[in-house]
Structure 1
Amino acid sequence: MSSSATANGPFGYPSVRRDDTVETLHGHKVADPYRWLEDPDSEETKVFVEAQNKLFFDYIGNYPKRETFKQKLTNLWNFEKFGCPFKRGDKYYYFHNSGLQAQSVLYQQESLDAEAKTFLDPNKLSDDGTVSLNTYGFSKSGKFFAYGLSASGSDWVSVHVRETQPGSKENYEEKPLEWAKFTGLEWTHDDKGFFYSRYPKPERDTDKGTETDSNKNAALYYHKIGTPQSQDIVIFKPEDPEHMVGAEVSDDGKYLVITVIRGCDPERKLYIVDFAKTFAKTGKEEVTGDFEMIKVVDEFTAEWDYVANEGTVFWFQTTLEAPKRRIVKYDLAHPEKGFAEVIAQSEDVLTQARVVNEDKLILVYLHDVKHVARLHALHTGKDLEPKELPLPLGSIIGSLSGRKEDKEIFYSFSSFITPGSIHRYDFETSKHSVFRETKVNGLKADILETKQIFFTSKDGTKVPMYIISRKDAKQDSNNATLLYAYGGFNISITPSFAVTWLNFIQHMKGVVAVANIRGGGEYGQEAWYDQGKLGKKQNVFDDFQAAAKYLIDNKWTKPDKLAINGGSNGGLLVGASINQAPELFGCAIADVGVMDMYRFHKFTIGHAWVSDYGNPDKKEDFEVVRKYSPLHNVQKDKPYPAVLITTGDHDDRVVPLHSHKLLATLQHEARNNAKPILERVETKAGHGAGKSTAQRIEEATDKFSFLALALDHHVWED
């Protein structure tokens, strides 16, 4: 039995079939009339997508400044982007984009002063720029380069190997390795092969990235170069099929550090393999599956990130008895001594630890959502000179390159309104220098400013928020304002240079606010992350709505002029917020969001998110998500703001069904809403990573065209 809804509402929404699917979950009868949209390959789903896309593009075609916005954004985007140089073997490498190239190109140099030569250009791998470099790893000697390519934004990668010397074979092996996902590429120091993680091939033979099957039974493999993938050796397979595994070869090449990962939970198990003992046991000086595992930590009690080792002594960054992280060391030869503290937890959150120049420990901390980089002695933990790397106040380190054997480091930093620069620090001469400056054509940074404020959430918690605007912006309640947040998975949302936002601010006289709500990692696991997950997830939505109220109460904007945006977990944030407090917003844009909180764990990697959301198969967790699941809390009592839901047809992380089902439900229940409820589906795109520059510009243009129409904002200044 099924019924078909007719096109309805002032925007002529397409007819979408509703069926009579109902199931009982923990005593609750749950209707799921759009479950058929879970099949991305059905003709009916394809018709749905085509109709919704047509409706969306017809609507934004009414924005008169759409092409002007795109032109100005393209002009701002067209600046040279450089990555930090890094040394592998006897050569330097760096990523570079000339401005509007679809993907950044990897260059090779004999020295920092030598001519740069193209080493890997992903733009030559597809006509439309939708094949991207997802992961890579150089062998210790620098002779070999393994790299994973993603097509259309899928999380699946095909792993290739090439030699790095000029004139050597670019395709070292005949066939790439397939079905790798969420993996590093870690070489043994003899250049013979590398470790990587992969899943079994999905049962359904579909285009990579469009399947919805659950990803389980990940395993760590060793690939010996020059041999077929069928001969790859299983090194480790977690007992639980939903667990994942990561691996890192130690600095000296004598050990393999393995972490067992339980979903997205930062707490991990820690195992170490001693290659010498294994080789002695097997009688072979090569990797086999007969590893002897040292189970250093066999429980999910803390985060463990390998920093360095000297012989049997290992240094780790950990949350063990330190929710803001500290540095400890552990001696494999004396396990009875346990973990010894090297650098204690501080008031700031430790986000990165790196050893360079043999024994210099660089620690990057987050202080009120701003970075500080401090130098210490590896063995003693004592401060070194300089105590801190030079950083402008309020900036964020985007990347930092340097290894234990390197005598120099490179680090880049930026802020919301400055693209920043790359700096070099030479430890042999103690000399700091600016290596490369970034300039953006058309950016009027002198008319822009950033402020950080703190607002009070519903339960009294002080929450930081950045407000980026023109200096001439008036707090008269009339600013078109975009409020952005994420709020989950221990991820900190730090200042970043985004020309899309700056185009909105500079030319449309808009305001952007970035709220560092709970659920992230801005103030550590205990104070921030744990307070925004599982049974405390409502704190995330309360923080976000309090941020909106602050902007309104302080006359930055008013509800009719306030747009909200978030992606992935942030898409869930937007979806839940428009159900709970639609009166606060004039426009809502939810990107690739998790919207069906009853079934998220059944598709691709969704089972990994029970760390934040709980398991809906358990009654106590189901009762929590039942209160905020966007799909199941669509309401009829209050009018909705204008809503735009975006997704990608190759999103195999948060599969498109989440967006489709919520959209269909909103269009049905709020069909007479005065403002539009629409969807934009990007083709040949996934969860976000790997998009070409052209795709990003088009997407931003479409979203801000929708925002301008939704907020009735037609201010423009060239």
Structure 2
Amino acid sequence: MPWHSALKRLSGACLLASVTLLAHAADKGAPPTAVKPVTDRYGALAVTDPYRWLEKAGTPEVQRWSAAQDARTRGYLDQLPARQPMADWLMKQAAASSSAYYDLKAAGGQLFALYNQPPKQQPMLAVMGQDAEPAKARIVLDPNALNAKGTTAIDWYVPSPTGKLVAVSMSENGSEDGSLHIVDVTTGREVDAVIPNVQYPTGGGSVAWREDGSGFWYTRYPGADAPAERRHFYEQVYYHRIGDDPAKDAYVLGQDFPRVAEIALDARPGTAGVIVAVANGDGGEFAHYLIGKDGRTTQITRFEDKVVAAALGPDALYLISRQGAPRGKLLKLPLGDLTLAKAQTLVPESEAALEPGGEFGAANITVTKTAIYLREIIGGPSRVAIYGHDGTQRGQLPLPDVATVDEVEALDDGSLLVAVKTYLEPARFVRFDEASGQAAPTALRQTSPLAFDDVEVVREFATSKDGTRVPLNIVRKKGTKLDGSHPLLLNGYGGYGVSMVPRFLGAATRLWLDGGGIFVVANLRGGGEFGETWHTQGSLTNKQNVFDDFAASARYLVDKGYTAPARMAAIGGSNGGLLMGATFTQHPDLFRAVVSTVGIYDMLRVELDPNGAFNVTEFGSVKNPAQLKALYAYSPYHHVKSGAKYPAIFMATGETDGRVNPMHSRKMIARLQAATGSGRPVLLSINAHAGHGMGSSLSIRVNQQADIYAFLFDQLGMAYKPAQ
């Protein structure tokens, strides 16, 4: 009998059962886990939680339990013959890959970039000329030199318009709990006081410089001295002048923002000031303000206006609006009168979606002296459309099929650097010349020791439960026979309006393909692949559509002869971890093995965590009766059934995760280990030096990949055949 019904006759707001039981796991070999039932009431609904005690991370009891689980998982993984060879091979490929440059920012006639140079543990900050010649680049800031353990990471950076200084947020152990450092670009030395509490996973963080480089606007949280209920909420905007005491920085904006406000700042040289984009949590509502050069603040849009992005041009403000246009339209608002009602529709809604992306959309609108470049997405792949300032269509940037662009950086010479990504080629930047309309390769490209010439990507469509067509990006070796024999790994996400776009698949996928596997990415509802309607059909009380889409995708792949249930695995992380949990609790027989990382599983207690409160606009709240009904209906933790034949499960989490509380993984694993009737392992890996994945060192990332693929190869009976 499920725990949520076994004791539902109990009443009261929160009742602790008087008996503590020591439950021996149905998953043989798993450590025994104490059962200490607690019952909560949500109106007339009584819900019993057998493992509430596992939420208390700092207690010796939970620490002992976590250590026992991790030791059990290491005992399973480390004895697999392929596991260490996989780790060695993956590290060898990482070390043999070329340096990668990304997150480009032009300033002061220079080009800044984050710079990844395997086998170094963390990306660095580099600067070069706008000729984009990496051979001339030099390092401005190297976190690896600051911390030999590789656990200090750059969260983000913003150079001053003059290019003389750069503001860098850094954090430890994957926590994303960032402090701001001001670095002299020439010497690499810090030149100002460190400003704490500028970045956290709840609302992120941001900086916008004054045009002369004398100071900057930045985001700040109440900090460690504030009460716990405020510490990672109430993000606000402050102004700092170089050389001043940060404790005396001037408050600018935010006291009337929602508790779950997420703020992004955007300043562009030669424009009228700073755009402040404010998200109302994670559900897709935005408001926008302009901080003028005189320091005065003007509100331009409100949450109900459905404007999801804003960018300043030399003479106008450009806005992506979903008001009456769920796929998005581009508005133009002259700076002389910032009344939204007077905005002109410059680019009407089309079959392509204009998504926020980047820093709440600013990254997807690039305005130059002669044109406007808009990133558009159609079901997963993206393109860059070109328009005149009057809205005249001028074509598109030349791109490969099934590609994506997530960076368009305008340079001083009238050209743009465009990041092009596909599933089968490493990321590269091309230079697009506005005057000639020609694109040319640059030396800013990553190379891989592995080739994918024998591999192809095809797009097919599954049909979901309600008839919706769901795109599938199928990565397979050329000549693959559809005889149902292939191991197949299905990946999905489906949330927050985040689109699953093409990305170079790299060494781990090469390893999978060479083992005879097929890799598939599903573009599920909840994402932004077809605009806001696609997102809302998979959010709040519509979340079940996401799980139906994923199940339909799996069944399609079986029906078409790609694989069979006994040969199929699923993988997802974070919101994709919720997808994994909901799928295998609703359809235990659909997959042979499931990998779920940093996942969300107890949907009735998500909003009690700091970042969970930000998710209410995406998932809903137990305080809303209709949303409570939906949350409870799919909450994976509450639908684990004793004796069900669950797939083999591998979960991974990090103890410093500020986005998803690791307690979700602890409780879900305990419940599954007690319930499963399949005889297959249910494993949990817990890393003390990792968080949600951002800022993890190279060695942590490589070893987790080795754990995942060794587990999958073992469970699906695959032979390890690494490419040479």
- 1:617 pairs with one of 616, 620, 623: 623
Corresponding residue of 2:336: 333
Q: CA deviation at 1:581?
A: 0.3
* Amino acid paired to 1:617: K
Matched, 1:274 2:292: yes
Equivalent positions of 1:642-661 (< 5 A) are 642-661=648-667
Corresponding residue of 1:391: 399
* Amino acid paired to 2:541: G
Residue pair 2:26, 2:675 contacting (<8 A) in 1 also: no
CA pair 321-595 structure 1, distance change in 2 beyond 3 A = same
| Alignment partners' CA distance in 1, 2:460 and 2:171 | 40
Corresponding residue of 2:694: 689
Equivalent positions of 1:336-347 (< 5 A) are 338-347=342-351
| Alignment partners' CA distance in 1, 2:231 and 2:485 | 47
Structure 2: state its 5+ residue gaps: 1-17, 356-362
* Amino acid paired to 2:180: V
Matched, 1:17 2:34: yes
Corresponding residue of 2:439: 432
Equivalent positions of 1:151-300 (< 5 A) are 151-164=172-185, 166-167=186-187, 170-181=189-200, 182-202=204-224, 215-239=232-256, 240-249=258-267, 251-252=269-270, 254-276=272-294, 278=295, 291=296, 293-300=297-304
Matched, 1:674 2:679: yes
Equivalent positions of 1:18-33 (< 5 A) are 18-33=35-50
* Partner secondary structure for residue 627 of structure 1: helix
- 1:143 pairs with one of 155, 164, 170: 164
* Partner secondary structure for residue 564 of structure 1: strand
**Which deviates further from its counterpart, 568-577 or 66-75?**
66-75
CA pair 715-298 structure 1, distance change in 2 beyond 3 A = closer
Q: CA deviation at 1:204?
A: 9.0
* Partner secondary structure for residue 72 of structure 1: helix
CA pair 149-428 structure 1, distance change in 2 beyond 3 A = same
Residue pair 1:509, 1:715 contacting (<8 A) in 2 also: no
Indicate the percent of aligned positions where both proteins have the same amino acid: 27
Structure 1: state its 5+ residue gaps: 206-210, 279-290
What is the TM-score of this pair, normalised by structure 1? 0.91
CA pair 335-469 structure 1, distance change in 2 beyond 3 A = closer
Equivalent positions of 1:191-590 (< 5 A) are 191-202=213-224, 215-239=232-256, 240-249=258-267, 251-252=269-270, 254-276=272-294, 278=295, 291=296, 293-311=297-315, 313-334=316-337, 338-351=342-355, 353-378=364-389, 380-384=390-394, 387-402=395-410, 407-428=414-435, 430-436=437-443, 438=445, 440-526=447-533, 528-590=534-596
CA pair 476-212 structure 1, distance change in 2 beyond 3 A = farther
Q: CA deviation at 1:505?
A: 3.0
| Alignment partners' CA distance in 2, 1:698 and 1:42 | 27
| Alignment partners' CA distance in 2, 1:176 and 1:437 | 33
- 2:99 pairs with one of 81, 98, 119: 81
Q: CA deviation at 1:509?
A: 1.7
* Partner secondary structure for residue 166 of structure 2: strand
CA pair 499-198 structure 1, distance change in 2 beyond 3 A = same
| Alignment partners' CA distance in 2, 1:414 and 1:296 | 34
| Alignment partners' CA distance in 1, 2:105 and 2:289 | 29
Cα offsets for 1:330-358 (capped at 9, x unmatched): 23534565221111111111246433541
* Partner secondary structure for residue 263 of structure 2: strand
CA pair 175-298 structure 1, distance change in 2 beyond 3 A = closer
Q: CA deviation at 1:564?
A: 0.6
Cα offsets for 1:118-148 (capped at 9, x unmatched): 2111211212212111111111111211010
Residue pair 1:180, 1:196 contacting (<8 A) in 2 also: no
* Partner secondary structure for residue 643 of structure 1: strand
| Alignment partners' CA distance in 2, 1:566 and 1:441 | 25
Corresponding residue of 1:49: 66
Corresponding residue of 1:282: none
* Amino acid paired to 2:321: T
* Amino acid paired to 2:432: Y
Q: CA deviation at 1:82?
A: 2.7
| Alignment partners' CA distance in 1, 2:193 and 2:230 | 29
* Partner secondary structure for residue 509 of structure 2: helix
Corresponding residue of 2:119: 100
* Amino acid paired to 2:217: F
Cα offsets for 1:536-555 (capped at 9, x unmatched): 11110000000110111112
* Amino acid paired to 1:178: N
| Alignment partners' CA distance in 1, 2:192 and 2:251 | 20
| Alignment partners' CA distance in 1, 2:63 and 2:28 | 21
Corresponding residue of 1:286: none
Cα offsets for 1:370-400 (capped at 9, x unmatched): 222221112x11123xx22121122112422
Corresponding residue of 2:358: none
* Partner secondary structure for residue 446 of structure 1: coil
Residue pair 1:105, 1:121 contacting (<8 A) in 2 also: yes
CA pair 500-563 structure 1, distance change in 2 beyond 3 A = farther
Q: CA deviation at 1:615?
A: 0.9
| Alignment partners' CA distance in 2, 1:308 and 1:236 | 19
| Alignment partners' CA distance in 1, 2:58 and 2:22 | 22
* Partner secondary structure for residue 640 of structure 1: coil
Residue pair 1:370, 1:395 contacting (<8 A) in 2 also: yes
| Alignment partners' CA distance in 2, 1:715 and 1:275 | 61
* Partner secondary structure for residue 5 of structure 1: strand
* Partner secondary structure for residue 54 of structure 2: helix
Q: CA deviation at 1:420?
A: 4.3
CA pair 5-522 structure 1, distance change in 2 beyond 3 A = same
Residue pair 2:657, 2:691 contacting (<8 A) in 1 also: yes
| Alignment partners' CA distance in 1, 2:560 and 2:93 | 31
CA pair 407-693 structure 1, distance change in 2 beyond 3 A = same
Corresponding residue of 1:284: none
Residue pair 1:60, 1:702 contacting (<8 A) in 2 also: yes
CA-atom RMSD in angstroms: 2.3
Cα offsets for 1:650-671 (capped at 9, x unmatched): 101101011111111111222x
Q: CA deviation at 1:253?
A: 5.0
Cα offsets for 1:226-271 (capped at 9, x unmatched): 1222112221124332333333335435323223321112221222
Residue pair 2:221, 2:231 contacting (<8 A) in 1 also: no
**Which deviates further from its counterpart, 437-446 or 512-521?**
437-446
Q: CA deviation at 1:579?
A: 0.5
Residue pair 1:107, 1:118 contacting (<8 A) in 2 also: yes
* Partner secondary structure for residue 324 of structure 1: coil
**Which deviates further from its counterpart, 101-110 or 473-482?**
101-110
* Amino acid paired to 2:38: T
* Partner secondary structure for residue 626 of structure 1: helix
* Amino acid paired to 2:150: G
**Which deviates further from its counterpart, 604-613 or 1-10?**
1-10
| Alignment partners' CA distance in 1, 2:307 and 2:178 | 26
* Partner secondary structure for residue 486 of structure 2: coil
Residue pair 2:280, 2:303 contacting (<8 A) in 1 also: no
Q: CA deviation at 1:220?
A: 1.4
